[in-house]
Structure formats: C-alpha cells, structure tokens
Amino acid sequence: MEPDLAVPPIYSPLRSAIHPRHVAIDAHTATWAETFSIGSPELRSQLVRSDIGTFAARIFPEGREEVITIAGDFMLWIFGVDDGYCEEGELGTRPGELQSALQRLIRVAQNPEAPMLVDDPLALGLRDLRHRMDRHGTPVQVTRWVEALSAYFQAVVWESFHRVQGTVPSLNDYTMMRMNDGATPIILPMLEMGYGYELQPNERDHTSVRAIAEMAHFIIGWDNDILSHHKEHRTGGYYLNAVRVLAEEYRIGHGQALITAIAYRDRVMSLFLRMAEWLKTGCSPQLRQYIESLGDFIRGAQEWEITSVRYTTPADPADLPSTFRDTPTDDNPAPLDIPAISWWWDLLPDLQDANASHGAAYGPSVPAPSFLHPIAQRTA
C-alpha cells in the first residue's frame, strides 16, 4: 500500500460563504434520503453523516432554498449511485450490466411517467427530483440536467472498464473524462435555477463561457482527487484519481505526483480567476451571477471536503489541511501540456508584459468578448 500523503493548504482566493438556512437544508437532505431509502442502510447512514446538504448550502449562499434542497438531495442521490452501483457494488466490475442499469435510470429522468423501475428506490428518488426540477426550472434547464446526467453515466462506465482491467488511462484521457466523471456539469443548470434566471444561449454556449465552466469542473475534480486520496487508496482496492494518473504518466512517486497535481490545479485556478475577471467586464447580470456561482461551487466543494467525515475519515484520520493559501504554488501562465484543455489558454488576450508573470488584470485596451449572435454582430 502506498504511504499516506499529507495534503498542504491549497490555493483558493475565493470567498467563503454559506446559506443562512444550511442546518435546515442539511436536515432536509437527511430526511429525503431516509424517505426514499437511498442506498443500503449502511451506505445511507454514511451519506447522511457526510453533510451533503451543507455542501449544497455553500454552493448557493444567497440562493432559493427550494432549489438548494433539490441540489442537496440530488448530490446525495448521485453518491448513492456512485458508491452503491459503481465503486462498491457488484455492477462496478460489470461494465455492460452497469451501462444497462444506468440507461434505465436515464430513461426515468427523461420520462418520469414511464412505467419502469417502479419499486426501485433510486428510480423513485430520481422521479421526485425530476418533478421538482420541472417546478423550479425551465424546459431547457431540465433538458441540460438530463443530458449532463447521461454524460456522467457514460464516464462512470468508462471508469468501470479501467477498473475491470486494472489499467490507468493517459493523463489526457483522464483529464477529459474527469470533467464528466465528477458529475459537476449536472449542477450547472441548478446554478441558474437557484437564482431564478436562465442564461441566453449566446452567453451560455459561448466558447469562453464553456471554457470557464470546464475550468471549474477541472478544479473541483482535481481538488477532490487530492483531498480524497487518503480515503481512496486506503481501501486497498482499485481507485483512479489524478495523483495516481500523474504517477503513472510521469513514472514518479506518489508524493511527487501530489505536488504536481497541486501545481496543475493552481495553474488552472489562476487561469479561471483571470478569465472570470475578463468575462465580467462585458457580460449581462445573469452571466456575472453564473460566474460568481462557479466560484462558490469551487470553494464550497473545497470547504466541504476538508470538513466532511466522508473525506476526513475519523476512524483512520486523513492528513488534510484546515486552511487555504492565498498564493499559487505555480502561477506559470503557459498552457498545461494536456491537449484536451490546453486550448483554454488561447482564449485570453495576451497579458501586458509587466503583469504577465503575476496573473494581474488585463489592460483597459483589451475588449471583452461579444455575446451577440454572429448575425447580430454584423448588423450592430
């Protein structure tokens, strides 16, 4: 077994915030889990003690409580699927059967009126979530939620194939798949619902906006890999995370791989912050809120993971930080040598020479991106 790794404070100059009703929200999620019997009694007990509702309250510190409870319940549900089906259950080593089971759940999400899995607790919980989504979200938001759930299921089946074969994917493939494997894209439509707006397609689907969302997926996923490494490798079974992938890719020890993982996520965090400031100079109030919510999502995940028993594992304590640092371990503005994401750096205009090595703000002469439709741009 690999040695335990002490995780140092990670770079996070983002605000720390939580919804004032976080205690009630967490209690609601615990009750919801019991009502729908999510997972085995043992797994459900573990999930209820993990403060997942509190995590949701950190993502939406000023959001609508009814939407925050949907997010909290859904995240507990997805852990029930991930832990119960994919990692700890028998289906986790049977990719074909796992794919079939997950596709049946997708059909329930698409059409909750379909007479399928009528006695299955996960399906019953999913139907409840879908009905509540319909009440508080638009058809476009609900459709995006279902599509993101389907992409997540595809990613966990991909991971299942590696689990069966005992293989570790390349760094590029892992980076690409981790952004869906972490299930973070499924929360994005809820970021809009939580504050009562819907992004226009010309904003939401703009290349730079898609990129900053992917940066958030990357940071959240790699932070989870870094902070959950103790929990995962101590099980003695197969596990897949960024630390292990980097160790295999570069033929280095896990201690050096941890340092490398932190440096890589710091470079993406630095880019995220610069991209956020640039986009905010020319966007709508709705897009500004969306970008701020991405930051709350990143910081909320970090604070939840260093405090939740899911990752601190009190019976076998993990050496996790209790604070965050204000400066990156690596602020190199050059792109990471990972083809799946290196194009992110190409979206930003060049920094002024005096600021390039410090990740400072862009000069006043640099225009913000236009979110007008291309046809409208030609006639504006």
- Band the pLDDT of 237: cuts 50, 70, 90: confident
- Per-residue burial over 296-318, b if 16 or more Cβ lie within 10 Å, else e, is bbbbbbbbbbbebebbbeeeeeb
CB atoms closer than 10 angstroms to residue 184: 25
CA separation for the pair 338, 333 (Å, rounded): 14
Identify the burial level of 262 via C-beta atoms within 10 angstroms of its C-beta, where 0-12 means exposed, 13-18 middle and 19 or more buried: buried
Q: Tell me, what's the pLDDT at 363?
A: 38
| DSSP 3-state of 357 | coil
- Under DSSP, the state recorded for 369 is P
pLDDT in tens, 289-310: 999 999 999 999 999 999 999 9
CB within 8 Å of 119: residues ≥ 6 apart: none
CA separation for the pair 288, 298 (Å, rounded): 16
Percent of the chain surpassing pLDDT 70: 89
Q: Tell me, what's the pLDDT at 368?
A: 64
Q: Sign of torsion, CA 281 284 288 294?
A: negative
- Under DSSP, the state recorded for 93 is G
pLDDT in tens, 147-196: 999 999 999 999 999 989 999 999 999 999 999 999 999 999 999 999 99
**In contact, 7 and 322? CB cutoff 8 Å:** no
| Ordered alpha helix ranges (H), the chain | 22-35, 41-48, 52-59, 65-81, 95-110, 121-136, 139-165, 171-181, 188-193, 201-204, 207-227, 229-233, 242-250, 254-280, 285-305, 309-312, 339-342, 374-379
pLDDT in tens, 58-117: 999 999 999 999 999 999 999 999 887 766 667 777 889 999 999 999 999 999 999 999
Q: Tell me, what's the pLDDT at 92?
A: 72
